[in-house]
Structure 1
Amino acid sequence: MERELAGELGISEGEFVAAFCGASVVRIEPRLADLLPALGTLGEVMALTRNASAVHEKVGIYRNVTVGAHNALVLGGDIDLRIFPKHWVHAFAVEKTDGDTVKRSLQFFDASGEAVHKVHLRPASDVAAYEALIARFRSDDQSTRIAVKTLADEQPSNEAGDADALRSKWEKLTDTHQFFGMLRSLKLTRHQAVHMIGADLAWQVEVDGATTMMEGAAQAQVPIMCFIGSRGCIQIHSGPVQTIKAMGPWINVLDEGFHMHLRSDHITEVWVVRKPTSDGFVTSLEAYDSNGKLIIQYFGKRHEGEGELPAWRNLVESLPRLAQSQAA
């Protein structure tokens, strides 16, 4: 709701939240090396990461936290995050009263005032630990304004691209985590790469492919991995999905412990992508918006050292392909 209200006012969500400092909001310091491990003291919470087209909500406990200079990890059994600390610029503790209920959350924003991650307390959460966390990280600055600046998405400079160089490097991949480094070295976006690589390694499917896949995964109980990212955080669900419901343009997963909301009308392209690894090919399903930006990404559930689930591979390879003329 804050996101929509801020949009109507022509300001960022971060600016909207900051306006309530001194009332229902406390500004806190985003010292992630200390703050991320402290989130585990809250007990069971709901972690939320979103972009303009998809929302990922996962219930669990912040465990197994590692914080480095350029990235951080949360590797709990349920809450699984890849974090880019430089984008966690503004942080707030927020309380909202709804009748007799007080809703508490910690909200983090980038330099543009866009939300990168939120932590919502639940009935089982430790409120005393939450209050102690606020006291520990409370900022001396409790002003009602934040400085924001426009952040442009990083755009590689190689507009034409070298298809031969891409294929050479792609075929030498031994781990999916090498993919981003490969793109960076070639100055390509992910969207450019899937268009260039060739239909044996990436092919376009019908635009409703993500919905078809989720319905198929639910019906066959194929465990999946669902990745949704903001500028500062990627949040991952690993496991089965069960309840898939359409509500207007939204396609939703409404399972205990995991909710996902996807704007199907924002999807303009869906691709099946194959990457070689030391464990064999790994297949992903990727949905892009009209600007070529990745909205959501899926894999079959797997661990390092394991091959891909045949049921997952069969599911995505069964999705109707677009004819080459349509895909061009």
Structure 2
Amino acid sequence: MTATHSVSRTLAPQDILRLRSENPKSRERDFAQANGITEADYVAAHVGTTAIRLNVDIAAILNGAETLGEVMALTRNESVVHEKIGPYEKVSVGPHASIVLGKQIDLRIFPKAWAYGFAVEKTDNEGNIRRSLQFFNRAGDAVHKIHLRDNSDLAAYDALVAQLRSEEQSQTVETRPAKQTEPTDIATVDVDGFRERWTNLTDVHQFVMLLRDFAVSRKQAVELAGEEFAWELEAGTVESMMNTASETGQPIMVFVGNNGCIQIHTGPVKEIKMMGPWLNVMDPTFHMHLRTDHIHSVWAVRKPTKDGHVTSLEAYDAQGEMIAQFFGERHEGEAERTDWRELVEALPRLARSVAA
């Protein structure tokens, strides 16, 4: 999933607070970017007033989140914000990955990327206090946020913050830019061997090992796969697909992530609205805000499994990073939905052939 690329400069906490007082209405993330700092720098500057530093203990965070009742879970990257409303349920914590498998909130969490945590309180325009738990990677980019709602359990939240509260309440964080790996020269890849491995996949989860073994990115993989398994689509196909799914009512899966968390919506999408470049989903328990002008290419991708091939729609930015990934609703051991496969296969292909 898409990696964010922060550029941080040295700005003392008091300077951040002063600049903020001069520009109080800007969104936090926009303010941080405009002033050359990271969002984690911005939040840390408020420690002692509206923020509390937390220990990043994934097990305590996720198990504690289960006690909060209904909340809003937010995961984003540079191009899309994914919000799900509901309780944290069915938490499973592991050393390399943790999972939340609730009906509404469905997460894959990669703990090594989580570096900083804060409990944040802010007062909205109506004078209401809005509380959230916010977590950032070493680069200072947000990996996941948990926002309380009117019917969340405030006592459970206070108890969780007290449990997680760090002895270190500094107003600064030591951020460093995300490591940028040099891309593999695609001309050096054994294309025949790569396509043979792709053909012999029996589970979508084997795809990560395929990428690792051939040292290629997801974008390079779809370019190498050949048109039997991947083909590029015309611009605007994400919006077209979402509108069709809305009209037909067919359930889909929407994956959005960063290096620390992948968040998944499963179910229908109903209320689709375009506002400028933003494609917005405004359903009761699912909100998405996607910058369509960040989409550089869209691919339809087939991966073989023991239950038949699985089709995804994948949007990439100009750097080749994945923005979002879409599937038809599917459960382990089930064949892919026919209506989803037909929807994707009917989307217009790019006129020129770009497959290797």
User: TM range, normalised to the smaller chain?
Assistant: over 0.9
Q: Which residue of 2 aligns with 1:2?
A: 28
> Where do residues 198-213 of structure 1 align in structure 2 (5 Å cutoff)?
198-213=226-241
1:174 partner SS: coil
Where does the alignment leave 5 or more consecutive residues of structure 2 unmatched?
Answer: 1-26
Q: Distance in 2 between matches of 1:155 and 1:68?
A: 30
Q: Are positions 1:319 and 2:347 aligned together?
A: yes
Q: Distance in 1 between matches of 2:281 and 2:181?
A: 31
1:46 CA displacement: 0.2
Q: Distance in 2 between matches of 1:49 and 1:281?
A: 28
2:263 partner SS: strand
Instruction: Go from structure 1 to structure 2 and tell me whether the alpha carbon gap of 1:18 and 1:246 turns closer, same or farther (over 3 Å shift).
Output: same
2:186 partner SS: coil
Q: Is the 2:224–2:355 Cα contact (8 Å) retained in structure 1?
A: no
Q: Which residue of 2 aligns with 1:11?
A: 37
Q: Distance in 2 between matches of 1:209 and 1:278?
A: 28
Q: Distance in 1 between matches of 2:355 and 2:191?
A: 17
Q: Distance in 1 between matches of 2:216 and 2:207?
A: 11
> Where do residues 112-151 of structure 1 align in structure 2 (5 Å cutoff)?
112-151=139-178
RMSD after superposition: 1.2
Q: Which residue of 2 aligns with 1:262?
A: 290
Q: Is the 1:18–1:25 Cα contact (8 Å) retained in structure 2?
A: yes
1:67 CA displacement: 1.3
Q: Any runs of at least 4 consecutive aligned residues in structure 1 with deviations exceeding 6 A, and if so which?
A: none
- AA matched with 2:84: K
Task: Pick the aligned partner of 2:320 from 284, 287, 292.
Answer: 292
1:33 CA displacement: 1.8
Where does the alignment leave 5 or more consecutive residues of structure 1 unmatched?
Answer: none
1:324 CA displacement: 2.5
Q: Distance in 2 between matches of 1:68 and 1:58?
A: 23
1:111 partner SS: coil
Output one character per residue of 1:224-253: Cα deviation in whole Å (capped at 9) or x when no partner.
Answer: 000000120000000000011000100011
Q: Are positions 1:32 and 2:61 aligned together?
A: no
Q: Distance in 2 between matches of 1:271 and 1:164?
A: 21
Question: Taking structure 2 as the reference length, what is the TM-score of the superposition?
Answer: 0.90
Q: Which residue of 1 aligns with 2:16?
A: none
> Where do residues 71-220 of structure 1 align in structure 2 (5 Å cutoff)?
71-98=97-124, 99-155=126-182, 157-160=184-187, 161-220=189-248
- AA matched with 2:112: K
Task: Pick the aligned partner of 1:57 from 79, 83, 92.
Answer: 83
Q: Which residue of 2 aligns with 1:242?
A: 270
Output one character per residue of 1:25-48: Cα deviation in whole Å (capped at 9) or x when no partner.
Answer: 000101112221111111100000
2:193 partner SS: helix
1:134 partner SS: helix
Task: Pick the aligned partner of 2:250 from 212, 222, 231.
Answer: 222
Output one character per residue of 1:20-73: Cα deviation in whole Å (capped at 9) or x when no partner.
Answer: 000000001011122211111111000000000011000011111111111111
Q: Are positions 1:253 and 2:281 aligned together?
A: yes
- AA matched with 1:49: T
Q: Is the 2:225–2:355 Cα contact (8 Å) retained in structure 1?
A: no
Q: Is the 2:60–2:164 Cα contact (8 Å) retained in structure 1?
A: no
Q: Is the 2:330–2:337 Cα contact (8 Å) retained in structure 1?
A: yes
Q: Is the 1:158–1:186 Cα contact (8 Å) retained in structure 2?
A: no
Q: Distance in 1 between matches of 2:91 and 2:353?
A: 47
State percent identity of aligned pairs. Answer: 54
Q: Is the 2:294–2:318 Cα contact (8 Å) retained in structure 1?
A: yes
Q: Are positions 1:231 and 2:259 aligned together?
A: yes
Aligned residue pairs: how many?
A: 328
